[in-house]
Amino acid sequence: MPNPLWMILLFFVVLVTIGLLRKFLSLEYRWPDIVVASVPVIVWLLVSGGISSVEIGKFKMETPMSDASKKPIETEVDKLEQLAVKEGATTVEKFMGISENPEETLPPPNVEVIVLVTGRSYSGKALYRRLENLVNRTKVRYVVVSSSSREFIGLIRAADLWRAFTSKQIDPGDLADWLEEDDRISLDSLSHWLPRSTALPPDMEKMAALDKMTRLKVTLLPVLSADGSFNGVITRDKITSSILKETVEQEGAAAFAVQQMAPPSL
């Protein structure tokens, strides 16, 4: 929803411009000038989804933006290839290149998510090396933590977790302890951590998802499957692009349609 102050400012800018033109042409203000000044504000509200339609007499202008924003996010979810690490440090070493031949033990090239399972025994040193390889040698973008029953616990970007390690914001040994003890309170203290409470169901409306991102001040959120497991992520850009694309497809090259074209008598 646009900021009301900007809308008011836009209205007065247009009104003053009309006034200056009338003064230059030695004409007086007329009430239709106010209607004209309101048009940019109305169009802005229509395109932004602030209102779905406006009707003056037989003149009606509406936009499908609101219809597109009410559709579920399911089709826009990035369902990323996952690799679950279920056997503690041994598996970490196997997949993250802590052995003598690291290039041969990296995750498969299509993997974008590494899933760590709580209740397992991890090595802080192995996790540190693991993240180093994740960021520098693979396409892995996210680290997901889940329970042994596949319940989603939280998500963090691999690069953000690596920065937390290198900047000493968190000790890898502490993270290993939190994972082993299923310490969700400590995990929630991680910077840039997205806990289960931020996750979205796949049937959530697109506008509701955007509103949640705005409240949380984030650009992406995790999406869960029906069983509560990690399904993928959805980004603000993906949602807004899909809304705009569908709007344009419905209305041709415009974001709104004019129906029953009949200008009001002035």
Domains of the chain: 1-51 (no CATH), 60-77+202-266 (3.90.1280.20), 82-194 (no CATH)
Contact indicator for 152, 230 with CB cutoff of 8 Å = yes
pLDDT at 125: 86
pTM above 0.75, yes or no: no
Cβ 223 vs Cβ 200: under 8 Å: yes
- Whether the pLDDT of residue 157 is over 80: the answer is yes
- Express each pLDDT in 206-252 by its tens digit: 999 999 999 999 999 999 998 999 999 999 999 988 887 877 666 55
Whether 129 has a pLDDT exceeding 50, the answer reads yes
- pLDDT bin (cut points 50, 70, 90) of residue 261 is very low
89 has a pLDDT exceeding 80: no
Calculate what percentage of the chain has a pLDDT beyond 70. Answer: 59
In tens, the pLDDT along 97-108 reads 344 444 446 777
Residue 215 or 47, more confident: 215
Residues of the chain with pLDDT > 90, as a percent, come to: 37
| 139 or 197, which is more confident | 197
Residue 46's pLDDT is 55
Name all contacts of 43-46 with Cβ < 8 Å and 24+ positions apart: 43/256, 44/2, 44/7, 44/10, 45/2, 45/7, 46/255, 46/256
Question: Does the pLDDT at position 52 exceed 80?
Answer: no
3-state DSSP call for residue 138?
Answer: coil
